[in-house]
Amino acid sequence: MKIALFIVGLIVFIGAETTCAQTQLVSRNAIMSFFSSAPIEDIKAESKTGYSILDVQANTIYFKVDMRTFKFRKGLMQEHFNENYMETDKYPYAEFKGKIKEPVDFSKDGTYDITVTGDLLLHNVKQNYSTKAVLTIKNGNISGSSNFPVKLEDHNIKIPTLLIKNIAEVVQVTVNVTYENSLARKM
C-alpha cells in the first residue's frame, strides 16, 4: 500500500516536474556576495550555492540561499555573521520573490535592462525592493546579474555601537546567476 502510494506520488511529482519545466529555468549555483565598507575594515563574503527559478511565462524570479554557506576571509567574521548578526540557527535562509516589470522576449538573443520588484525575506524581516538588473540571453541560455544596497536596519540586523566603525550600515549585495537548462529546444 505504502509502495503503491509512493509510486503514485512519484508519477504525480515527475508529471508536475515536466509540465513546469517548460517555462521554468533553474539554477543551484547562483553566486551571491555582499560587501561592507567601514572606516576600520572592509568585509566581503560570498556563497556559490544560491538557488534560483526564473519563470519566463509568469515573468517571475525566485531566489533562495542558505545564509550559512557564505564564506568569509576571516573565520571569526563568519562566526560572528552567523551567530550575532544573521542568527542563522534561527533564520538559516534568505528568500526573494520578485516580478520582472518589463516584457522580455526570452526567445531572442540579447542583453536586456530590466527592473525587478519583489520581497526579500532576510533575517526574518520582509522588505520590498525594486532594483535594476541585466539579463543576457544567448542561444536560449539565460544569465542575469544585479547589484543593490541592503540597509541592515531594514532587516532588524543590529550593530552594537562599539562596532559601528567596523560594519557599514548599508551593505552592497551582488547576485550573479546562470540558469542550468536552456530554452532553446522548448520554445
Partner 1 sequence: MAQQPDSVKAIDTLGGEEHIPVIATFKSGLIINGQSNETLHKSDLLVDIAHRFGDIGGANGGVHNFYGLDNSTDILISLKYGITDRLMIGAGRAKGAPNGVNTFQKELYYLSLKYRLFQQTTDDHIPLSVTLFGNTVICGMEPLDLATSDADFQNFGERMSYTIQAVLARKFSRTFSLALMPTYVRRNYVSFQDMNDLFALGAGARLKFSPRMAIVADYFHSFRTEASKDYYETVQDFKFYNALGVGLEIETGGHVFNISFTNSTAILDNQFIPSTSSAWSKGQFRWGFNISRTFTLSKK
Q: Which residues bind partner 1 (CB under 8 A)?
A: 16, 20, 24, 28, 49, 51, 53, 55, 58, 60, 62, 64-66, 68-69, 73-76, 79-80, 82-84, 89-90, 92-93, 95, 97, 158, 160, 162-163, 166
Q: Please, what is the minimum distance in Å from the beta carbon of residue 6 to partner 1?
A: 16
Residue with smaller CB distance to partner 1, 87 or 154: 87
Give the residue with the Cβ less far from partner 1, 83 or 109.
83
State the minimum distance, in angstroms, from the CB of residue 23 to partner 1. Answer: 8
- 68 grid coordinates: 550559512
Contact 114, 100 (CB under 8 A): yes
Q: CB of residue 110 vs partner 1: minimum separation in angstroms?
A: 25
**What sign has the CA pseudo-torsion 11, 97, 87, 33?**
positive
Q: Which of 109/124 has CB closer to partner 1?
A: 124
Q: Which alpha helices (DSSP H) does 22-108 contain, by range? A: 75-80
Q: How far is the CB of 135 from partner 1 (least distance, A)?
A: 19
Nearer to partner 1 by C-beta: 11 or 110?
Answer: 11
**Which residues neighbour 155 within 8 Å (Cβ) at sequence distance 6 or greater?**
122, 123, 125, 127
Sign, Cα dihedral of 71, 177, 94, 39: positive
Q: Is the dihedral of CA 151, 45, 24, 135 positive or negative?
A: positive
* Structural contact between residues 34 and 171, judged by C-beta atoms closer than 8 angstroms: yes
Closer residue to partner 1, CB minimum distance, 31 or 97: 97
Q: Which three cell numbers stand for residue 112?
A: 536586456
Closest distance to partner 1 from the beta carbon of 1 (Å): 24
